[in-house]
Chains A and B, each alone.
Chain A
Amino acid sequence: MKKKSPFSTIRGRLIGLILIASALVLGSSILFLSMRTKRELIDSAFQRLSAVAEIKEDTINRWIEEQRREAEFLIQRPTLHTLAMETLKSGHDGTSADELKAYLRELLIHKPDLESILLLSTRGGEVFAGTEEDLTGEFLLDAKYYKRGLLGLYVENLYPSPYTLKPAITVSAPLRNEENTTFAVLALQLELAAMDRIINERTGLGETGKAFLVDQFNVPVLGRQYGDKSFRRGIHSPGIDKALKGGRGSGNYVNHEGVKVLGVYRWLEGRNMALIVEMEEREAFSAIRSFYLFIIALGTVLFLLALFFSFQIARTISSPILNIRDAALEVSRGDLNVQTEVQSQDEVGELSKAFNGMVDELRYLYDTVRSNERYFKSLIEGAFDLIFVLRRDGTISYVSPAVQTLLGRSPGELVGTPMNELLSSDTERKKLKEAVLSAKETPGETCLGGNLEFIDTHKESHIFASSLCDLLSDPAVKGIVINSRDISKEEELKRRLAQAQKLEAVGRLAGRIAHDFNNLLAGVSGYATLLAEDDREDPELLETAQAIQKIVRRGADLTKNLLAFTKSQEMHPRVVETRQLLERIEKLTGTRPGGGGTYLVQIRRDELTDEFLHQSIYIDLDRIETALSHIITNALEAQESKSEEEREIKLSLEEEIISTNREIDREVILPGRYMKLTLSDPGEGMDGETLIRAMDPFFTTKINQQRLGLGLSIAYGIIRQAGAYMFLDSVRGRGTEVQLLFPVQGAP
């Protein structure tokens, strides 16, 4: 089995979706928060750096201003004036020149913010005195501080010095004589290292903060960095470059030392230099690390909460749906009594209601269909008719259960077999084929198919009136429906009716003949008696008369029998007890009606109860005796092949209670109490054909023995006339059994 993905279930998907959504919300909030925090940290760092830059800029301005004031102060010094004028007069080598140089050196010692002090003559800017030996005697007529210094106090802001090859700031001021004529220029080269120290005071710069100045050519103002191999091409960073383009701003970038920094940069317009204040990003962001830890912890907690709630929500949403799913599964398995609980009034609740309604409807429909089915099935299955549905190929796809009763075949075994097998002969099969073909001509319409002869398991044939209907194109049936009704009994009844009518006609004729013949016999008998009385002495005549009388008696017996058969003899029934019938039967013991031979009548009287012996029967005992004598005669005749001693008839008498209609030999016996008398002989028996006709009048198997063949039919006539039943059962070679059922009249 394929492993199910957790997302293949509604609950899994819901949890997944909620988790994704919450992760997104959480993630974006955290991202937003951390970005905001980072931004704020950066902003605050920049604010701090800007504030520092502001202070530094101010410091630089103040420092330079101080130096300017220093120059202003120095040019007022009378000593400087005197010494300078004397030196100019006496030339470089005079004593005043030495004094002046010493004076300037002395000044320099006390001014740590100055790098050098120069005095330039108005003649070509010649350095006529100064603390720098190398420059003494040089003509600096191109130098701006000289040119401007001639005119007044001047600060030459940061410029590249052609002499020191380093950035320099020079403050110059004119020395004027009494006539206010400039005779020399004082130039103070500022000690930029001092400035650098000032701006590098660590105030507000944190641990990694740095402030530095860069000239317009990317050269760091403080020489200590310049000339270093790594910075011989100047120092470069985005901050520096932007500042050198006159920019003022801040940013995070990689500085000239390759360190990631937050920097504030500004071009100091008046000072001709850029001020850069930087601090390492690492330091600025150190606070954010703990914030991240907090955020991660918070995020984890929130995520776990989201996980928990997503399970809860998923359960809340999915459980009613899953309930419906379970119910639907139950329904699909056939249980229509399922109902889901309506847990809410929302869409899912509506779904539950709709589902319940649907199941109710389904159940109602199903019940209706089932009861309809039962109804129609009972119609079909309760019917005695055979209903077949044939497939196109002639095999049976359905047969009604009546086939069991009618033909002794189970419907199950017949499904799939050709219907032809059930027919008795090829003639019948041909008839069926024709009927099917003609039914196909009118699909959907029922047409008569005539009578078909089927055979049952006992090879007995039954006639069925059949109708056919072609429903091959009906998707619900897809077959030819054949409806066959058993009409065998009707046929039999028809036959019997004919028989009865035949018997009745014969009987009536025979009765009239017998009556007339009896009258004739009476005449013959009278004359024979007269003859015998008249010719009593004539033995010959007497013998003749007696023979006539004997023959007449036999003729009278014959007519009596004939009259009995034709009901012309009146029946005089009365209520008798079983005992009395038994006595009459016993009377017959040992004697043969009509004389001749002996036979055994075995009836075990001691097995019969008194109660039984006193049962009432409504019969004509005399007529019954006649019937019994006919039956016994017949039984004895069946044993003719045996010696007289061997011939026997078994008799038994017992009570039989029939609770429902019982059909024996196509006669229906009504329910009730009966006395059953059974006579059986071990004679030659009868075959089926003979048995059927045994009780027909004038039917005999002993035609050459001049038998009338009326014995059993007379017995049958008497018995039926007495309201009793008579049945024959015989197997050829085994003997015959005659059953007589006398209805018992009420309780004693």
Chain B
Amino acid sequence: LAFLLFSSCAEERDKPGEKDVTSTKEIILGALLPMSGDFDFLGKDALEGIELARKDLQKKGGIKLGEDNYQLGYKLLDTEGDPERTVGLVQKLINSGRAVGIIGPIMSSLAIPAAGICENAGFPMITPSATNPEVTRGKTCVFRGCFTDDYQGEAIASFLREEMGIKTAIVLFDVSNVYNRYMAESFVREFTRQQGEVIGEIEYLQGERDFTAEVEDIINQSPEAVFLPNYRDDINVQVKTLREKGYKGILVGGDAVGASEVPPADQPLFESIYYCSHFSFDTSSPRIAEFIGRYREEYKGPISALTPLSYDAVGIFIEAIETAGSLDQEKITAALAVPRVMEGLTGPFYFNGTGDPKKNAFIVKITETGDRFFRKIPPKDFPSNL
């Protein structure tokens, strides 16, 4: 079976796929995104960000390395959300020798094994959104364009405790997924540390579609807030069930929520849901407003944080190549590790020599008219000038 997968993948590579954008002299990045399977919507959002970044670079005239001018190209590799497949794809990409680096994977469960492979091969990788600390731990070649789950848990806990004055909370999470599980752990740790009380940790397994039992359990315990560190498809069902069952408390999600395509009928149920976001949706910032406007123009639907994250991830890579002045991966890796501050759509990045930049977290409120900036939560040790 694996071989069949491989061969279909090889076919993809051999055929000039519609989504492969290449030009004569180009820098190829592997884009490892879930373009099919349960998380295909994440793949779509991320790809839009990469594509926008590519186009912007093209407008700028590409990257100048010595005498040569390069355009950016990428090789889209569909992870299908499958770790085995992802490992294979990464290996294949690395061993094919065609790509300079990897953008992705966007989910921690895939990013962790992919990071391991990249690290072994000395192959630079930037994940736009994999927040699990394990992704970069002990690695020199792996970077991310987002904060970590540790910080996210802390941010959400402090938002609930400090902003909303919540004392009790329940966590409902997919125990089989490393992201959800780690987010839950992180939140519990932080919320408890901030004198909140986690009165329940309800686990479920990936693929579960009926949360009636879990929701009844929650309603019985009547927490002030429910933390849902899950992916959007799950959250959609969970929110709906909770609201329909009459839960009135605060619902908070993790960064995986983004860009809900809520069915119009269910729209009212989704009022007043918060989540922790990498992207501020703060339209008071002209740059963000312009980006959102441009996104709408190009892709119509609501924008997800994953799009500007992916855009920024590409930006980080391009900047590193320019700094390195070469396509040599060791030099690029070294350039990525240089402590620096970088401005991006998702806020200032404070790189401090590790793979994890320090960044602001944003609490976003889902409203009728889309996701709205609610609060910015800067890291405590964030340089005061940022």
Contact = CB atoms under 8 A, between A and B. Distances in A.
B370 interface: no
Interface string B100-125: 00000000001011001100111100
B176 A159 contact: no
Contacts of A161: 84, 87
A124 B207 CA distance: 9
A269 interface: yes
Contacts of B110: 162
B294 interface: no
A364 B83 CA distance: 114
B205 A218 contact: no
A143 B3 CA distance: 15
B91 interface: yes
A216 B6 contact: yes
B205 A234 contact: no
B46 interface: no
B121 A124 contact: no
Contacts of B117: 160, 165
Interface stretch (A225-233, A334-342, A444-452): A225-233
B1 A142 contact: no
A162 B112 CA distance: 8
B206 A124 contact: yes
A236 B92 CA distance: 12
Contacts of B97: 233
B265 interface: no
Contacts of B84: 142-144, 159-162
A217 B95 contact: yes
Contacts of A246: 7
B94 interface: yes
A219 interface: yes
Interface string A131-153: 00000000101111000000000
Contacts of A216: 2-3, 6, 88, 92
Interface string B214-251: 00000000000000000000000000000000000000
B113 A124 contact: no
A141 B91 contact: no
A215 B90 CA distance: 13
Contact of A144 (B1, B92, B94, B175): B1
Q: Give the most central of B86, B91, B175, B205: most A CB within 10 Å.
A: B91
A232 B122 contact: yes
A190 to B, nearest CB: 15
Contacts of B177: 139
A233 B83 CA distance: 19
Contact of B95 (A123, A157, A158, A236): A236
B56 interface: no
Contacts of A160: 84, 87-88, 91, 117
A130 interface: no
B266 interface: no
B82 interface: yes
Interface in A158-191: 158-163, 165
Interface in A100-130: 123-126
Interface string B22-37: 0000000000000000
A712 B2 CA distance: 165
Given A160-B87, A217-B92, A233-B94, A124 B175 contact: yes
Interface in A560-575: none
A162 B206 contact: no
Given A143-B84, A160-B88, A234 B95 contact: yes
A227 B95 contact: no
Interface of B is mostly: helix
A220 to B, nearest CB: 11
Contacts of A165: 87, 113, 116-117, 120
Nearest to A271: B3
A272 interface: yes
A6 to B, nearest CB: 60
Contact of A162 (B1, B6, B83, B120): B83
Given A144-B1, A233-B95, A233-B121, A162 B205 contact: no
Indicate the size class of the contact surface on chain A.
20 to 34
Nearest to B122: A232
Contacts of A158: 2
A124 B2 contact: no
Contacts of B88: 159-160, 216-217
A163 B113 contact: yes
B91 A234 contact: yes
Contact of B86 (A124, A162, A219): A162
Nearest to A123: B205
Given A139-B176, A144-B1, A218 B87 contact: no
Interface string B161-179: 0000000000000011100
Given A159-B2, A162-B86, A141 B95 contact: no
Q: Give the most central of B1, B82, B83, B84: most A CB within 10 Å.
A: B84
A151 B110 CA distance: 26
A144 B3 CA distance: 13
Nearest to B6: A216
Interface in A335-360: none
Contact of B205 (A124, A219, A232): A124
Contacts of B175: 124, 139
A272 B91 contact: no
Interface in A258-293: 269, 272
Nearest to B176: A139
Nearest to B80: A142
B205 A272 contact: no
A703 B123 CA distance: 164
Nearest to B86: A162
Q: Give the most central of B3, B88, B123, B206: most A CB within 10 Å.
A: B3
B324 to A, nearest CB: 19
A233 B120 CA distance: 9
Interface string A502-517: 0000000000000000
A217 B91 contact: yes
A232 B121 contact: yes
Contacts of A159: 2, 84, 88
Contacts of B92: 216-218
A119 B179 CA distance: 23
Contacts of B7: 246
Contacts of B82: 142
A216 B94 CA distance: 13
A232 B87 contact: no
Interface string A42-57: 0000000000000000
Nearest to A126: B176
Interface string A358-402: 000000000000000000000000000000000000000000000
A570 B269 CA distance: 205
Nearest to A246: B7
B205 A139 contact: yes
Nearest to A159: B2
Contacts of B113: 162-163, 165
Contacts of B81: 142
Q: Which 6 pairs across A and B sit closest by C-beta, in order of nearness?
A: A139-B176, A234-B95, A217-B91, A162-B113, A162-B83, A160-B87
Given A216-B2, A233-B94, 5 more contacts: A139-B205, A215-B91, A217-B88, A219-B95, A246-B7
Interface of A: 123-126, 139, 141-144, 156-163, 165, 215-219, 226-227, 232-234, 236, 246, 269, 272
6 contacts: A139-B205, A141-B176, A161-B87, A162-B83, A226-B120, A236-B95
Interface of B: 1-3, 6-7, 81-84, 86-88, 91-92, 94-95, 97, 110, 112-113, 116-117, 120-123, 175-177, 205-207
